[in-house]
Structure 1
Amino acid sequence: MAGGLVALLDDIAAMAKLAAASLDDVAGAAGKAGAKAAGVVIDDTAVTPTYVVGLSPARELPIIWKIAKGSLRNKLIFLLPAALILSAFAPWAITPILMAGGAFLCFEAAEKIIGAITGHGHGDEAATTTDPKELEDRQVAGAVRTDLILSGEIMAIALGQLADQTLLNQAIALALVGIAITAGVYGVVALIVKMDDVGLHLAGRPGAGSQALGRGLVAAMPRVLTALSLIGTAAMLWVGGGIIVHGMEGFGLTTLPHAIHGAAEGAAHAVGVLPGVIAWLVAAIGAGILGLIVGGIIAGALHLLPRRKAH
């Protein structure tokens, strides 16, 4: 009896060790997968604050919460099952889907650039809406729609780092990545959009230091939003172009990817200082240029199509 109990305890201990090792594998895989998706996370963080510009300050945090819930729903209810199905039955489809999503990001960035140059952007239609609730609903819907693409890229990139994991571990790791990234992105976004309120609070407190800091935060907010818009556009081109470059390599179309990698390595050797940073920067610029070309072609085609129909 005692021997049987000892054997049972040994089995339980062995199972506990196995479970702990599995959890370590999942945690490590989730961390690695999340790090690979960092570019899209930067994009998501930079883009989202623009959706509350022009809306009531009292509605900023509720709107961010609505978008965050929509983002989590996108990741866990729609994209996670789709990613697992693709991984199990059609892994060959992941790269084309990634490239299509990357092309969409490039198109969105090109549309922003065209809108900035011509003065006609995505926000024109929303600007004509006078009903605050309708405007809020439209902004939230647009943000969740854009997030679906960005979240799809995040989940697909993360899935690409989990090929050696079991289906269960992939599911757990993707869920962890989705929750962690959503909490991180929208936590930072909430801090950004309330920075002016924090500044006003500090400006009203006694003490010259607090007042100066508060006024500085309020004055900096428009510049921060402008910088975030520029960073978001650049990140869309960089991430979208980079996804297309990696996809081309996967399909054996290596001429352009090798040219970009060669230019990055050559620049790193030529400069000699911070070679890793220089190589990354040149590769990102090369991917961004490709993204701008791809996005410009798509945007141009879509703008010309209505004119042909009109004629």
Structure 2
Amino acid sequence: MSAGLFALLDDVAVLARLAAASIDDIGAAAGKATVKAAGVVIDDTAVTPQYVHGITASRELPMIKRIAIGSLRNKLLFILPAALLLSVFAPWALPYLLMAGATFLCFEGAEKVWGWISGSDAHAAPAAVVGEDAEKTLTSGAIRTDFILSAEIMVIALNEVADQTFWLRLASLIVVAIVITAAVYGVVALIVKMDDAGLALAQRSSAFAQKLGRGLVAAMPKVLSALSIIGTVAMLWVGGHILLAQSYAAGLRPPYDLVHDAEHWVSHAVGVAQGGVGWLVNTGISAVTGLVIGALVAAIVHVLPFGKKGH
């Protein structure tokens, strides 16, 4: 009887260790996937505050909450099942899907760069206040935009765990979806409430609090501008890198080989901080590649009849 009990306890201990190992595997896989999707996450964080610009302060957080719920719904109910089905029945299509999404990122990034150059950035000043119905319209628009970015995040994440078992892939992608959504919209909420916090501090009796409050209010436009620039560069970098890496995976190897050779040559020529220098070279070439590809796609789109509408 005691032998049976000890055997049962031993089995429970083994199962516990396996469960702990599985949790570690999920955490490691999810962490790796999240890091790879970081560029798109930055852009997602940079884009969203524009949708609540001009909205009444009391409605900002409820609106962000609705967008966050919509984003999580996009990831878990629509994108995740489609991505898993793809990984099971058509894994060969993953590089091409990644390249399609990367091309869209490059196009969006190039459009923003052209908007800065021409002074007609369509995303710089969204029409936030046009009546009470505007909140629903803007929320729907934000969720639609989020769908594209979320799809890219989830596909990038899936690519990082494609060699894992189905259940580990599922668990990892669920973790990625929840963590990224919470991180993005948590940061967005902090950003859009920064000016309110600044105003509250500026009204206090403490001279230090007043100075800090005025600093926060003054910093808000600069923070949004910086996020917009960082987000655009991230789009071009991520898009260009995915195109180079996935074209290599699809059999078109010379472009990525050239990048790798340039990275290797510059790193050894500099001789110090080779890892960091190599990363900068790779990132710079990827961003330029993204800009060139995005500009070509934008030129084609605006030449076509459907691309001329609204201009």
Residue aligned with 1:132, SS: coil
> Counterpart in 2 of 1:281?
280
Residue aligned with 2:132, SS: helix
Query: C-alpha displacement at 1:2, in angstroms?
Result: 3.7
Deviations 1:10-48 (A, max 9, x none): 322222222222222112211222122222222212222
Give the 3 Å change call, closer, same or farther, for CA 273–217 of structure 1 in structure 2.
farther
> How far, CA to CA, are the matches of 1:105 and 1:272 in structure 2?
34
- Give the structure-1-normalised TM-score: 0.92
> Counterpart in 2 of 1:240?
239
Does the 8 Å CA contact 1:68/1:182 hold for their aligned counterparts? yes
Structural mapping, 1:1-311, within 5 Å: 1-123=1-123, 127=127, 131-306=130-305
Aligned residues: CA RMSD? 2.2
Does the 8 Å CA contact 1:126/1:135 hold for their aligned counterparts? no
Does the 8 Å CA contact 1:67/1:140 hold for their aligned counterparts? yes
Deviations 1:156-200 (A, max 9, x none): 121122133211111111101110111111111111111111111
Q: Which moved more, 1:105-114 or 1:13-22?
A: 13-22
User: Unpaired segments of 5 or more residues in structure 2?
Assistant: none
Q: Which runs of 4+ in 1 moved over 4 A?
A: 123-126, 307-310
Number of residue equivalences: 309
> How far, CA to CA, are the matches of 1:46 and 1:130 in structure 2?
20
Give the 3 Å change call, closer, same or farther, for CA 289–207 of structure 1 in structure 2.
same
Query: C-alpha displacement at 1:125, in angstroms?
Result: 10
> How far, CA to CA, are the matches of 2:293 and 2:307 in structure 1?
21
Query: C-alpha displacement at 1:126, in angstroms?
Result: 5.4
> How far, CA to CA, are the matches of 1:147 and 1:261 in structure 2?
32
Give the 3 Å change call, closer, same or farther, for CA 6–64 of structure 1 in structure 2.
same
> How far, CA to CA, are the matches of 2:131 and 2:255 in structure 1?
48
Give the 3 Å change call, closer, same or farther, for CA 200–130 of structure 1 in structure 2.
closer
> How far, CA to CA, are the matches of 2:308 and 2:222 in structure 1?
41
Letter in 2 for 1:37: A
Query: C-alpha displacement at 1:215, in angstroms?
Result: 0.7
Query: C-alpha displacement at 1:290, in angstroms?
Result: 1.1
Residue aligned with 1:206, SS: coil
> How far, CA to CA, are the matches of 1:309 and 1:122 in structure 2?
14
> How far, CA to CA, are the matches of 2:306 and 2:198 in structure 1?
48
Does the 8 Å CA contact 1:202/1:211 hold for their aligned counterparts? yes
Does the 8 Å CA contact 1:86/1:94 hold for their aligned counterparts? yes
Does the 8 Å CA contact 1:50/1:229 hold for their aligned counterparts? no
Does the 8 Å CA contact 2:95/2:247 hold for their aligned counterparts? no
Query: C-alpha displacement at 1:225, in angstroms?
Result: 0.9
Query: C-alpha displacement at 1:300, in angstroms?
Result: 1.1
Residue aligned with 1:133, SS: coil
Query: C-alpha displacement at 1:142, in angstroms?
Result: 2.4
Give the 3 Å change call, closer, same or farther, for CA 72–238 of structure 1 in structure 2.
same
Q: Which moved more, 1:136-145 or 1:166-175?
A: 136-145
> How far, CA to CA, are the matches of 1:53 and 1:20 in structure 2?
44
> How far, CA to CA, are the matches of 2:260 and 2:58 in structure 1?
48
> How far, CA to CA, are the matches of 1:193 and 1:98 in structure 2?
32
Does the 8 Å CA contact 1:71/1:151 hold for their aligned counterparts? yes
- Give the structure-2-normalised TM-score: 0.92
Q: Which moved more, 1:96-105 or 1:296-305?
A: 296-305
Deviations 1:103-145 (A, max 9, x none): 1111111222223333444349953x86333332232222222
User: Unpaired segments of 5 or more residues in structure 1?
Assistant: none
